[in-house]
Structure 1
Amino acid sequence: MKGIMADPLKDIMLRITDDNPETRGQKLWVMFALSLFLVASLNWYAMVREPQVVDIEDLVQHKNEVVLVEGKVISWIEDRYGNGEDRVDLVIEDDTGVIQVRWYSTGEIPPIGTNVTAMGDVVDWNGRFYMQATGSGAFHWEEKDLPTHQRVSISDLAVAPDDFVGKIVTIDGFISKSISPDAVYTSAYLTDHPGNAAHQMQLLIQSATGAWIEADSKIEVSGMLSFQETNLRWAFHVQGPDILLDTSYQPQIIRLDWATEATWSYESGSKVILAGTLRITDGVWELEGPNGHTICVIPTTEDMAEAELQNYSGSIFDAEGRLMWSDDRNSWCIDANQGMGQNLVDPMTALSMQAMLSADPASMLQAPNTHYTINTYMKYAFEPLDTEGYFVDSQTYTFGQTSIAMTFPGTRTEWIESGQGIVADVTIVWDDEDMRMRLMVNSYTLTGNPPPPATMLWDDGATQWGYSKNQFVLIDGKAALHDDGWYLERPGSEQSIKLNVLPNAIGTDSLHENQSLTWHGRLVQIEHSSELALVFLLDGADALDEDGDRLADSFEDATGFNSNTIDSDGDGINDREEMENGTGPNNENS
């Protein structure tokens, strides 16, 4: 039987390989038909062949193969780099591990917690495996695969967070900050009260919301609770497009105060109101405060038309809009167009930047030319010759403060103080030496004022003083001249600190001789001249003189002058001259 079946095939092959010129044309047609048959057979096999279902831990054995993975969706990010790409990065988990699936030409996105079947190519990129899927049919799930959400309160999570790990839960609350429509990664807080919260929880938002969410808005979110080892705290992971807004609750618009200008950056992206004198020059709008400081205003078309009719310039004006950073003006602006003006950005905070880096650090390094605008603060005082330091998410130290390493483009001529607000354009690189992510600062603008100098107490000791190294501080004491220069001594003790006094300093003149004064300067450490030790020095030191009348504030308070004004009695003669002339408040000639 075997020989009989082989005879026809043998006959065909003999005809094909025959060199007879008379049958050469027939042979070509037979070969062509046979090739078509083989190609069609292979295509049919490729279509009907079902990809193999593979455990995630075994994907390393299927490099460059199309496979199926079955598991639960635990997170997804839509348009990771904000460039409009039709791409969603999903993370799928099964009993053996997790895998990222990069899905292009997407369809409906499965909710978090959905059990799905994903089909795609297994890709090995420098030892890091992920799957690449294309088309709406790459993911499949049915109604029975959708998650069942458990509704809980923030207090439930606070009492027993471990009970909800790995579960999809739904909670509502008030969001702590405004969320811009195109922010792919955002870190905020969810509280149980907009102004007097008993509980708050970190909220990590992935994927752009597509619409503004105002600070203190009441929202409903569904997601998963996880413990953040880097910050030693719990966080709730949600997807931006899935945030539900309770429109029945309207948050209050924040009124800014010119006296607290240094804290305005906390309201970045929020709707604000600020009163001031409106100045319009060549179409440029600015709002001027009582201290002479200004903030730019970006009006609507209707505002500009009304201003021409009513002559707004020079009038007291309540500017209402969204507080945004203007790249064109390198300053904060109140945008009446609700954040839709040109070249305006809502800078991310250091906390949001860290959340973005923690979510998928490898992907961030794949886009080294992507620029980010970050609204942050200096962690330590930054010397002019320093190029490496840290950004933090709050002006003063708080427990759990977020720090990010950064590098400046070069040296400077001035110090940048600890707690100084800064808006910087940065890119992200990998630091081989320190084995961590690092922000490269391309350009920056200082905003607001640094915190006031800290008061140092002699009883605090060297360790506590070390926390204020390189910062401006206040120290009480008496100045005394030694063989090697001026020292600030603690009265009644042997404690002292070396002084590097300013030229023409008032603290060492004859009027202030042997007086206990409050001194102001930068606390630095230097080597001891004769011992193997480090000692503190108050650099650029002088007695504190807030009103600038060349009388130390503590001296004025002790002698009856007003330390807040140059001319305490308003007679046209400044306090210094009165003291030198013997006509001060406590003087017989006054």
Structure 2
Amino acid sequence: MSKMWAAFFLSVLLVSTLNFYAVVREPDRIEIDEVHEHLSETVKVEGVLISWVRDPYSDGSDRVDLQVEDAPNVVKIRWYDTSEVPPIGSTVVVEGEVVQYNGKIWINSKGMGAITEKAGAEVIMFDTTLNDISANASAYESRVVNLSGYLSDALEPNVTWQSFTLIDNPSYLDSDHRLSVALQGRVTEWVEAGSKVNLTGWVQWDERNYRWSIVVQSSTVEVTHPAGAKRLSWAVAAETWSYDIGKLVYVEGTYTWLDDDGDLEIDHGEHWIVAPGGTKRRNHLHDSNSGLEWYLARRRILRAIGLVRRPGSDLPTDER
């Protein structure tokens, strides 16, 4: 009987030891292309952080979605209860549970130490210029660099991904160097085109578009010299206004409403701005503000508008 009790307690001790080991053991280190073979398991993967978005659904949750690459394989990470995110381009070690749902596979990570930058593989940031990159872009490939320049397009708030060109002159047509930028993450407010910014990003060769580009996280964008609204000139052809689509602009003229017969109609109809002197007019100009800023008593206005429609050659320029 005593032998049976001894065997029983030994088995209980063995099971307890195995359970304890299962809890505290180090997760298996696997390759990213093997993630699908470890569903519902806690694993570790290593790769290069290529993008991340904080609070992807704007619901206030403490969550960051990351993409980690071990070329050509990429795995998505959903990180909860986060801490500071390592810089893009750094080598990171991720620990979490492999989840499969509705045809998707990702890793759920939780806690401050779930995603860490690999020791000895920290990203070294370089201060450089658009001119340096244009002279020898391949020397900066896969490096994280600090750059300054001007925005070719306005940055829209609450958009998780948008692109623009970083240029060396506030006027796109007058710029000599242009670098394509892929911006990931949200900015909190509008940043007008022509604003000067400092940013940090990861230089890459864009194989799809056959050009060099830089991947930038929104949190690294610093506006040093905000740009105001741009004055639109009536002296140029209508087509040139297309360069300012999406920008905050202002134009001087007489604001009118015209009905289908071309008669003045205050309550509805097309919206027109007629140039001083009445020689040219532009239509479909969207009022981004709730009110109008009236100038003088003859309905001549100076107002901020958002140019939302590309002016084509078919725009009437008849004399009125």
Aligned to 1:209: 187
Of the candidates 273, 284, 299, which is equivalent to residue 288 of structure 1? 273
User: Amino acid of the residue matched to residue 159 of structure 2?
Assistant: A
Shift of 1:39: 10
Aligned to 2:301: 317
State how far apart, in whole Å, the 2-side matches of 1:284 and 1:320 are: 20
* Larger CA Rg, structure 1 vs 2: 1
Aligned to 1:448: 311
When the two chains are superposed, the root-mean-square deviation of aligned CA atoms in Å is 4.2
Identity of aligned residues (%): 28
Aligned to 2:214: 236
1:8 aligned onto 2:5:
yes
> What CA deviation, in whole Å up to 9, does each residue of 1:459-506 have, x standing for no partner?
xxxxxxxxxxxxxxxxxxxxxxxxxxxxxxxxxxxxxxxxxxxxxxxx
Residues 299 and 216 from structure 1, CA distance in 2 versus in 1: closer, same or farther, beyond 3 angstroms?
closer
Q: Return the structure number with greater helix share.
A: 1
State how far apart, in whole Å, the 2-side matches of 1:207 and 1:226 are: 18
Aligned to 2:30: 54
Conserved 8 A contact 1:103-1:133: yes
Q: Which runs of 5+ in 1 are unaligned?
A: 13-33, 325-331, 333-420, 422-446, 453-545, 548-563, 566-590
SS of the equivalent of 1:297 reads coil
Aligned to 1:225: 203
Of the candidates 221, 238, 252, which is equivalent to residue 275 of structure 1? 252
State how far apart, in whole Å, the 1-side matches of 2:44 and 2:166 are: 37
Residues 71 and 10 from structure 1, CA distance in 2 versus in 1: closer, same or farther, beyond 3 angstroms?
closer
Of the candidates 127, 133, 156, which is equivalent to residue 157 of structure 1? 133
State how far apart, in whole Å, the 1-side matches of 2:14 and 2:100 are: 32
After TM superposition, the score normalised by the length of structure 1 is: 0.43
State how far apart, in whole Å, the 1-side matches of 2:64 and 2:238 are: 40
Of the candidates 60, 76, 86, which is equivalent to residue 110 of structure 1? 86
Conserved 8 A contact 1:180-1:211: yes
Residues 197 and 449 from structure 1, CA distance in 2 versus in 1: closer, same or farther, beyond 3 angstroms?
closer
SS of the equivalent of 1:183 reads coil
> What CA deviation, in whole Å up to 9, does each residue of 1:20-75 have, x standing for no partner?
xxxxxxxxxxxxxx99x999878755542332222334434323211122333232
State how far apart, in whole Å, the 1-side matches of 2:270 and 2:19 are: 67
State how far apart, in whole Å, the 2-side matches of 1:224 and 1:10 are: 61
Shift of 1:448: 3.4
Higher RCO, 1 vs 2 (CA within 8 Å, ≥6 residues apart):
2
Aligned to 2:124: 148
> What CA deviation, in whole Å up to 9, does each residue of 1:103-145 have, x standing for no partner?
2454332221334321112245687653232344422348976
Q: Where do residues 474-513 of structure 1 align in structure 2 (5 Å cutoff)? A: none
After TM superposition, the score normalised by the length of structure 2 is: 0.75
User: Amino acid of the residue matched to residue 88 of structure 1?
Assistant: V
Aligned to 2:263: none
Conserved 8 A contact 1:190-1:200: yes
Aligned to 1:426: none
State how far apart, in whole Å, the 2-side matches of 1:138 and 1:185 are: 25
Q: Which runs of 5+ in 2 are unaligned?
A: 258-265
> What CA deviation, in whole Å up to 9, does each residue of 1:354-392 have, x standing for no partner?
xxxxxxxxxxxxxxxxxxxxxxxxxxxxxxxxxxxxxxx
User: Amino acid of the residue matched to residue 48 of structure 1?
Assistant: V
Conserved 8 A contact 1:74-1:113: yes
Conserved 8 A contact 2:160-2:185: yes
Residues 263 and 103 from structure 1, CA distance in 2 versus in 1: closer, same or farther, beyond 3 angstroms?
farther
State how far apart, in whole Å, the 2-side matches of 1:189 and 1:234 are: 11
Shift of 1:265: 5.1
User: Amino acid of the residue matched to residue 77 of structure 2?
Assistant: V
